Amino acid sequence: MADFVLVHGAWHGGWCWRDVLPALHRAGHRAHAVTLTGLGERAHLMTPAITLETHITDVSNAIEMEEMQQPVLVVHSYGGMIGTAIADRMPARLRHLVYVDAVLPKPGESWSSTHASATRESRLAAAQAAPDFSIPAPDPSEFGLSAGQAEWVKRRQTPHPGHTYQSVLDFDPGRVAAVPRTFVSCTQPALATIEVARQRARDSRFWNGAWIGGGGVRVVEMKTGHDPMISAPDELARLLLGCC
């Protein structure tokens, strides 16, 4: 039996893993979907005080409180910032780190660092206009979703804490690379804000070569959009089961 900790991306919540969890449970594994502070069913906790560090603590506390032993840590989109931090701070605790179409930062970067200037300016302007300094959710069509799936996501998305957008993460790439890693590249359609991460995942020089060392890394392509836990949950679940 393996343990899985699933971490959603921006504007989402633990709800987004609904169709992935049953497959992990049927295979005899434990799986816990974290909802980050200020999002999903915890949207009532939204405050300008929420930072990237708040969300890192959410996940590290979940690993401790759920008594997860050597979990497979699965992080989606913005959650790549969090997964990188957790691997840096407790590498010996993780069995595998799975970046699902997720941010791959360099030390000293923030979630916003690799975005186009127009994207950064637009999101920061929106946050500054909001009383709780939050960034409104985009239309789910940007994630390649349509029809019922798009409507399901649209009903559940919540604004994202704005101060996580420029929170800088410092870490040791060698420590993170000690954890076996998988990067899931979602390509149909490919979300533009993840393009830099996709390129980095295939670059042997990334992290000054540390990316391909340590516990090793593999890159897997899924021909679906940015929310594979919704658009292709069975395929994603099979991929995750192969990481334990």
pLDDT in tens, 91-109: 999 999 999 999 999 999 9
Residue 146: active-site member: no
How many angstroms separate the CA atoms of 80 and 102, rounded?
5
**210: its two tokens:** 């540390």
* Number of domains the chain contains: 1
Q: What is the reported pLDDT for 215?
A: 95
Q: Is the pLDDT of residue 123 over 90?
A: yes
Residue 155 scores a pLDDT above 90: yes
Whether residue 112 has pLDDT greater than 90: yes
Domain housing 9: 3-241
Q: What is the CATH number of the domain that holds 131?
A: 3.40.50.1820
User: Which CA distances in Å does 3 have to 28, 59, 241?
Assistant: 10, 14, 10
Residue 115 pLDDT > 90, yes or no? yes
pTM of the model: 0.97
Averaged confidence pLDDT in the chain: 97
pLDDT of 186 reads 98
- Give yes or no for residue 244 having a pLDDT over 90: no
The per-residue pLDDT for 38 is 98
Q: What percent of the chain clears pLDDT 90, i.e. is strictly above it? A: 99
Does the pLDDT at position 225 exceed 90?
yes
pLDDT confidence bin for 1, thresholds 50/70/90: confident
Distances (CA, A) of 197 to 55, 59, 81, 113, 239: 20, 22, 11, 11, 19
- In angstroms, the CA 88 to CA 2 distance is 21
Q: Average pLDDT of 38-52?
A: 98
134 pLDDT higher than 90: yes
Q: What is the pLDDT of residues 159-216, one digit of tens each?
A: 999 999 999 999 999 999 999 999 999 999 999 999 999 999 999 999 999 999 999 9
Catalytic, out of 60, 77, 110, 112: 77
pLDDT over 90 at 239, yes or no: yes
Residue type (1 letter), 74: V
